[in-house]
Amino acid sequence: MHFYLPIKLLRNRPQAVRVIGKATADNVDMEIESDFINSKGVKMGNTRRHFVAKTMTDFVSTWDEVKAQAMTGLEAQLQVTPAEIYQKYFHGPSFQVLGGILRVNEKESLAIYNTTPAPQWTDAPRTLLANPMLIEAAFQCCGFQDMTVAHKMTLPDGIAEVAVLNNQLPPARLYLYGVNKGTTADGKTLHDAYVFDAQGNVWVEIHGYRAIGQ
């Protein structure tokens, strides 16, 4: 998965986007794109590509390699509170999905998932196939490590692999575990991330999350 451009909603104006799926013999390629339409209804510039992804043919979990360390200290006191996190992050109430940082150092980050951020929709909760807010929380967990250790704000650039293993409504408590995998040749930070419950079941697993400094 590669992130090119965010989808920006300017002055509360709706933005039409196209989600395109192309099936091949081995997988499905997916894109999200949009056009800039001016106030006269005229398209300006080239079509904008926002995100691209393709389905995986195989996925090998690495959870067993990190499980014991990830589940150590789940009942520890918070090292960083939600208020402190979102003094540094720019996210609004609907995207304040971290309930605190349990530990963060040069090798790893462990956080609690906030199961009660402001609703994404005003009418009713939705059940979504990919559990995107868990993926967002994993991004923020890894990003907070970048901010704490590397002293830089980072945003998503791409993911080598992401597997959504459970798309049900989250339980009262979930955890995020990020593993620092170093830096790419072009200076992007590299992480693996895991979303798991108190019983050690993985909900989302991410390999090769690339974050680009701002």
pLDDT confidence of residue 127: 77
Q: Which domains does the chain have, with CATH numbers?
A: 2-54 (no CATH), 63-213 (3.10.129.120)
pLDDT confidence of residue 96: 95
- Overall pTM > 0.75: yes
Q: Residue 197 and residue 97: Cα distance in Å, rounded? A: 15
Burial class (CB in 10 A: 0-12, 13-18, 19+), 67: middle
pLDDT confidence of residue 114: 94
Alpha helices in the chain (DSSP H): 63-70, 82-88, 132-145
Cβ(143)–Cβ(90) below 8 Å: no
For residue 85, CA distances in Å to 12, 41, 78, 97 come to 26, 41, 11, 10
pLDDT confidence of residue 10: 79
Cβ(144)–Cβ(109) below 8 Å: yes
Q: Is 75 helix (H, G, I), strand (E, B) or coil?
A: coil
Tell me how far the alpha carbon of residue 203 is from its chain's centroid: 13
What does each of the 214 residues of the chain score in pLDDT, given as a tens digit?
999 999 988 777 788 999 999 998 888 999 999 998 888 889 999 999 999 999 988 899 999 999 999 999 999 999 999 999 999 998 999 999 999 999 999 999 999 999 888 888 888 877 788 889 999 999 999 999 999 998 999 999 999 999 999 988 888 899 999 999 999 999 999 999 999 999 999 999 999 999 999 8
Tokens of 2: 């590669």
pLDDT confidence of residue 24: 83
Q: Is 130 helix (H, G, I), strand (E, B) or coil?
A: coil
CB within 8 Å of 41: residues ≥ 6 apart: none
Instruction: Identify the DSSP state of 11.
Output: G
Tell me how far the alpha carbon of residue 26 is from its chain's centroid: 26
pLDDT confidence of residue 122: 83
